[in-house]
Structure 1
Amino acid sequence: MPAPVLLWFRQDLRLHDHPALIAAAERNAVIPVYVLDDETPGEWRIGGAQRWWLHHSLDRLDDSLRAIGSRLILRRGPVAEVLAKLLDETGASEVHAIHHYEPWWRAAEAALGDRLVLHDGNHLVRVEGVRTGAGTQFKVFGSFWKALATHLPPPEPLPAPERLAAPEAWPESDRLEDWALLPTRPNWATGFDWEVGEKAALRQLDAIPAKIADYETERNLPARDGSTRLSPHLHFGELSPRQVWAATAGEPAAEKFRKELAWRDFTSGVILELPEYGTRNGHARFDPFPWRTGKAADADLQAWQRGRTGYPIVDAGMRQLWTTGWMHNRVRMIIASFLVKHLLVDWRMGERWFWDTLVDADYGNNTVNWQWVAGSGINANVFTRIMAPLVQSEKFDAGDYIRRWVPELAGVPDPAIHDPEAHGRRPRNYPAKIIGHREARERALAAYRTMPRG
């Protein structure tokens, strides 16, 4: 019997539209494997919220594989070493996998050498295929979008296989429960009410056309159910971007939504070009920026993390994040701006908190978005454009959102809900503002003026 092949799953935990799976199945018997590697990523080992999602997604993937005559092999350790060992154990001829662009995955891919066969499948088009005239990755999204458009629409999604040939003998597998991915003492995930896995993602995808018509407006209103909530499914690859694109075919109002898919491709290009973007400023002139440090800054960071800043829209977002592992997109921008510009805390501190608490924490998206807000990125907002959270709260009608996530303010009516302190409606159990908006703005601008120009 011809040698089997390994199918290496990472953030592509699905059977539909999986080019590596299809290619592997055409070769011979397939051994699907997932490796939990906390060593190769270093400081970027997946955070707590992602581990919760991963447990459930792997469980669902194994169910789906068993339904087509296969199963999922689980191993733990440095992935290149683990896969090399599995190749020897099973006599497998090669490893098939989908391209990933995080620097640690690229290092692992290089270590596997010519025994690894890579396929495109987690992006709209091949990331390396969308280049500037100089042959480099784009650093401005608007230009990227125009170039990407010449490669669209993406290829049609591939169907899931009906059967998958099994090897003559299965290698040993870890037990998912032994990986202890789920929190126990304390179980901080009791508010995680997500349906996880490919089947749940496909059900969510069915609802997309109904959201598209008003997406550009509704997605900015935290109190409305205008977000698609597909981001964790896309991050873990329970859906492919090509599937989501196809689901919006024929929808005249789909462009704004499709740009969100394109943003994922764009950020992958950024980290391909600048692999250290998660820790290094996109513009070196931000390196000497006078971020606050010390006990006062640490206390402010902790107040921000706990949703105790005295700014209701900020506190609502941070509490939603802690409770559910997710935060509304508009609120993400508000709370990021607040940390960086009102509190003058280094953007990397916020990025790391997101990495641990977001179920959809993605290296490309996370780092590019934080540097966009901070003004330090290659494709960034200007630092001196300081978002006013109280104005944003009222503008985007966040009253009911605040009442849901900050129960101390449940009885405060509009418009006082956006700034109860200013209206004399702040309850005793809700903190005063950690800093006034005008004071924070002046402090931020003064800090910015100390930086070298250029």
Structure 2
Amino acid sequence: MSVSVVLFTCDLRLHDHPPLHAALEGSEEVVPLFVRDRDIEAAGFGVPNRAAFLADCLAALDAGLRERGGRLVVRSGDVVAQTCAVAAEAGADRVHLAAGSSGYACRRERRLRRALEAQGRRLVVHDGVFTAVPPGAVTPGSKDHFAVFGPYFRRWSQERAREVLAAPRAVRVPEGVGSEPLPSRSGLAGVSRGLARGGETEGRKRLAAWLRDGLDAYADRGDELGADGTSRLSAHLHFGTLSPVEVIHGARRRGGPGAEAFVRQLAWRDFHQQVLAARPDASAADYRTQRDRWRGGAAAEEDVAAWKEGRTGYPLVDAAMRQLLHEGWMHNRSRLVTASFLTKTLYVDWRVGARHFLDRLVDGDLANNQMNWQWMAGTGTDARRNRVLNPLSQARRYDPQGTYVRRWVPELAGVAGRAVHQPWKLPDKERAGLGYPDPVAGLAEGQARFRRARGLDR
């Protein structure tokens, strides 16, 4: 009897799953396997918010498999060793895996291929599982990747998305393959109180609601912080409980300006994946160095602490950072503003901010997080490397009524009008009663420091 193993990583779904589809077509029995990777946890990526969301995803995946007569096998340790052990226990002749784009994923794939071949087994790697267009599928002439989004998007848009695969009706798992208990979010310390639930069922419900009720207004209201008019699908795309191919097909069927704007954001996700696949060192090193000498020392550390805790004295920045602490998620516009503030106004190394985001974000995707931080720091793919997002002008444009600020900074809930964005302009007596801090730095001061550091005034 032919047996295959499907190694799940960040593709925790049954719908539109090419590795699972191929395994079921080619084998009579299939072992759905997830390995709790000790290397990822040791590297600091097994943080509470993502661990909790992952537990939800694994529980939903196991439940979906059991509805189809199967089950999820869970192991812990080294991915290669555990996968080879399961393949040997099941008598599997091949292992199916979704292709990754990070340096770690590529190394894992090479190690697994060698180990399986030494056992006389085969590794089958599938593209187009994590992204709509696989990294490297479109390239600019003789180069290995696009460094500018506009030309990439034009080529990306010309690619024909593959058809969506149906979820399997039945999954037959061989007997005798042992499994550890499923992890649970209960008992995990440090989980954000407002963290959303994970899992394929939740993701599909959210997608259906978004396509029905939210997508049409996205082009007009997607950047409005008070409206909360984004899809909030990023965590489901990161963990693969939703297929980006299926999401794009659904948006395009709906059509209209909202769908066009939304699909463009999904293209940005693929863009960053192809950058990191070509330049894996960009996860920690400047993609295009500006030879920055970032601030250090006690004063910078105090500023970073204020930034992390949402007490910089700039209401829009503080609202965003407090949202991150409470939900493990943040609006994309807020991510840009807070990143600009840390790197350009406070002149602190982008890696400090990127690490904090990875520690808190439930959708903490390495490619998108690091490349967005570099884009804002001016060390990445952005042609305007010295742009600064002024938090006051950003607040006036994207939170004109102060709805977002009042939601997340309760000290300012009673401040009327646009004064909510500049509480330091209130009369001294009124300001003192708020219990809200003064700005950690003046915007003009920060701008001048940044320009001196980058040598822009020479």
What TM-score does the superposition give when structure 2 sets the normalisation length? 0.93
Q: CA deviation at 1:38?
A: 2.9
Alignment deviations for residues 56-107 of structure 1 (CA, whole Å, 9 cap, x no partner): 1111111111110111111111211211222222221111011111111111
Distance in 2 between the 1:300 and 1:25 partners?
54
Q: Which deviations, in whole Å up to 9, do the C-alpha atoms of 1:215-269 show, x marking residues without a partner?
A: 1221111110310101101111011111111111141212111011111111111
2:398 to 391, 396, 399: 396
Alignment of 1:45-444 (within 5 A): 45-113=45-113, 115-120=122-127, 121-152=129-160, 154-167=161-174, 169-177=175-183, 184-185=188-189, 187-192=190-195, 194-209=196-211, 210-248=213-251, 249-253=253-257, 254-284=259-289, 286=290, 288-377=291-380, 379-380=381-382, 382-397=384-399, 399-424=402-427, 425-426=430-431, 427-444=433-450
Q: Partner letter of residue 54 of structure 1?
A: L
Check 1:40–1:238 CA distance in 2 against 1; reply closer, same or farther (3 A cut): closer
CA distance in 2, matches of 1:274, 1:280: 10
Query: How far did residue 365 of structure 1 move?
Result: 0.3
- Report the structure, 1 or 2, having the larger helix content: 2
1:176 is paired with a residue whose SS is coil
Q: Mind listing any 5+ residue stretches in structure 2 that lack a counterpart?
A: none
**Offset of residue 450 of structure 1:** 7.7
Deviation at residue 44 of structure 1 after TM alignment: 5.6
Size of the aligned set, in residue pairs, is 442
Partner Cα distance (2:215, 2:194) in 1: 27
Q: Which residue identity does 1:282 align to in structure 2?
A: Y
Distance 1:122 1:44 in 2: 22
Structure 2 CA distance for aligned equivalents of residues 381 and 195 of structure 1: 38
Query: In 2, distance between residues paired with 1:38 and 1:356?
Result: 17
Unmatched runs of 5 consecutive residues or more in structure 1: none
Q: Please say which of residues 264-273 and 112-121 is displaced more in the overlay.
A: 112-121
* Over 6 Å off, 4+ runs: none
Q: How far apart, in 1, do the equivalents of 2:38 and 2:341 lie? A: 32
For residues 352 and 367 of structure 1, the distance between their equivalents in structure 2, rounded to whole angstroms, comes to 9
Q: Counterpart amino acid of 1:251?
A: G
Which residue identity is paired with 1:382?
Answer: R
Shift of 1:184: 4.1
The more displaced of 206-215 and 264-273 is 206-215
Deviation of 1:196 (Å): 1.7
Cα distance in 2 for partners of 1:269, 1:216 equals: 25
> TM-score normalized by structure 1?
0.93
Contact 1:14/1:61, CA 8 A, preserved across alignment:
yes
* Counterpart code for 2:448: E
Q: What CA RMSD, in Å, does the superposition of the two structures yield over aligned residues? A: 1.8
